[in-house]
Chains A and B, each alone.
Chain A
Amino acid sequence: MKQILLMGNPNVGKSVVFSRLTGTDVIVSNYPGTTVEFTNGRMKLDSTRAEVIDVPGTYSLDPTTPAEQVATDMLAAGDVVVNIVDATNLERNLNLTLQLLSSGKPMVVALNMWDAAEHKGIRIDVAKLEELLGVPVVSTVAPSGRGINELVGRLEQAAAGTRSYEPDERWSQIGEIVEQVQVVEHRHHTVLESLADISLKPWTGIPLAVVFGFLAFALIRLIGEGLIGYLFEPLFENLWRPLMASLSALLGPGTFWHELLIGSLVDGQIDFVESLGMLTTGLFVPIGMVLPYIFAFYLVLGLIEDVGYLPRLGVLVDTIMHRMGLHGLTVIPMMLGLGCNVPGALSTRILETRRERFIAATLMAICVPCMAQIAMVVGLMGQSDNFTMGLFAVFGTLAVLWVALALIFRRVLPGEAPEIFVEIPPYRIPYAKAVAQKVWLRTRQFISEAVPYVLLGVFIVNILCLLNVIQFLGNVVSPVVTRLWGLPEEAIAALLIGFLRKDVAIGMLAPLGLSLKQLIIACTVLTIYFPCAATFAVLVREFGLRRMAKAALLMTTVALTVGGLLNLVL
């Protein structure tokens, strides 16, 4: 099968073109390094099928970074290259284009972001560029699909370029080409450009970041709570409860199937949080409590990503992050980790060195709770006597721990974080369709991956209870749980399930009647002591079992210490 490679600078829209060509849904955002792993899909090409590969972005083929080495290696194996060029940045992008031309592979150039270029007053003579490069050139606007059909149509005309030059003449060649094909009209600063400026200037940018942060969280809470109050709770209460009540009467409380499917009744009633049946708690926790927040978080994150704010945040915090031995862009895995630790762990690949990636992933796994967990903590604390104090204590402890661990890593692991060197994308108004698609993709991932795990978790709890395993384990670890952390023995079941799903684990704390202090300790320890199964699997794949074994040891030690300290201090 023919292999078509999509290659280009970072953040020029390769993934959007990929998804247009193959019909595959992929995550696209407005920052360099969204695609960290190559993705492949299929498309029809003159009645045969071809494989399309979305190669991670690279500025050149000089093997100066690992990403460039990967791109160079992939180029050798491909049959046809589609070089995606950012039309607003022709000169810089042509550096890679000329290098690709010298590889002698048949090639087509897509001048993407054509609309943005027009908007900026940049006009490019496509026919002339085609003549100079000797390969087909097509102007495209990938999110709207403009030019994509023409691009596909001209793939068969893909040709090895005719332009030859000495390697050290590359930049002068590029200068000549640009001079012949491009005309730039001077335009005044747009509102977006002015906003871009003030969000990067320290004296305006830092206050803006704080305001944006608060706004983002307020919005997530508003949407999440609104969905729960007006949609999900009424659905469960008015439609699902009568159904479950009939089923409960049919099965008869106390029987095996009743315990497994409905769970135990609280005051003769089904309690969606505390009953712990697969059809009651097993569905209500992921769908009724967590899903609304997942949706709200990804909607807000999607907007922030597509506007292009994240790299600016990375620059603003870079100075303070370097004091802690970290790179400014470490904020990106942390932000993604707040949604789910799995994509958070994968996004550490935007960091350059293995040391940095390991530190970022470990910090995230220990200190950054995912949205499923946050939603449950918020829900649980809502029932305690001091909501604000509870949340402040849990998230404050995690934040302090994050800083403390970063400083320890800095001393223990040799090496310094490399200096920041990143392209700052212009602010763009997000395409509504692209954001909607991304939210849908991530929410769907949550439903298809989390719901089965939650059901499995609830199933296991029931089986373990039936087999008295929890009581047995309770005796073994009770000194730690009861003496050191001051939690009741029943909390052990929750800690056990926390290895699988943190949201279910926190839900299991609900019936225990914990005091505020115990709730704080339990929620904090549940975040720290170990990542959930899915995250741990990804971390092992990324860093190997040996390093993760060390990290796991660290997590346990930290959980013991922090839990013990909180028990002493509070």
Chain B
Amino acid sequence: MIVSLTEMAPGQSGIVASLDGGWGMVRRMQAMGIRPGVPITKTTSQPFRGPVSVQVGNTEVALGFGLARRIMVEVPG
């Protein structure tokens, strides 16, 4: 099942499926290690559509709700 990062529960893991954004957004995500095929774990999310934080490799990254909504993740089930 493919869901966006914002729909995942904190603690849930999956594999990045696609980045739905322009060239700049995709490049910036890639540079932080977020790119299709990479395992990703959502660590926390702030309430009221606040930032989401994720773990990719050994890096923890926080991203705004709008950015997180455009990161699609393949999750089991």
Contacts and interface: CB of A to CB of B under 8 A. Distances in A.
Contacts of B53: 200, 315, 424
B41 to A, nearest CB: 11
Contact of A318 (B46, B60, B61): B46
A419 B66 contact: yes
A422 B33 contact: no
Interface string A311-330: 10011101100100000100
Contact of B50 (A62, A65, A89, A318): A318
Contacts of A202: 44-47, 50
Contacts of A311: 62
Nearest to A120: B58
A95 interface: yes
A424 B51 CA distance: 12
Contacts of B45: 202
A60 B49 contact: no
B35 to A, nearest CB: 6
Nearest to A319: B50
A318 B58 contact: no
A62 B24 CA distance: 9
Contacts of A472: none
A59 interface: yes
Contacts of A196: 60
Range class of the B interface residue count: 20 to 34
Interface residues of A, number: 36
B62 A420 contact: yes
A202 B43 CA distance: 11
Contacts of B32: 59, 92, 421, 423
Given A59-B32, A60-B31, A421-B64, A92 B59 contact: yes
B10 A91 contact: no
A59 B61 contact: no
B22 to A, nearest CB: 10
B67 interface: yes
Interface in A273-322: 311, 314-316, 318-319, 322
A397 to B, nearest CB: 28
Nearest to B64: A419
B30 interface: yes
B58 A420 contact: no
| Most chain A beta-carbon neighbours within 10 Å: one of B24, B32, B64 | B64
Contacts of A122: 58
B51 A328 contact: yes
A329 B63 CA distance: 12
Interface in B6-51: 10, 24, 27-28, 30-33, 35, 43-51
A92 B57 contact: yes
Q: Which 10 pairs across A and B sit closest by C-beta, in order of nearness?
A: A419-B64, A319-B50, A59-B31, A92-B33, A60-B31, A424-B60, A315-B62, A62-B27, A420-B64, A64-B24
Given A92-B56, A92-B57, A421-B28, 9 more contacts: A64-B27, A92-B59, A95-B31, A122-B58, A197-B43, A200-B53, A315-B51, A318-B62, A319-B50
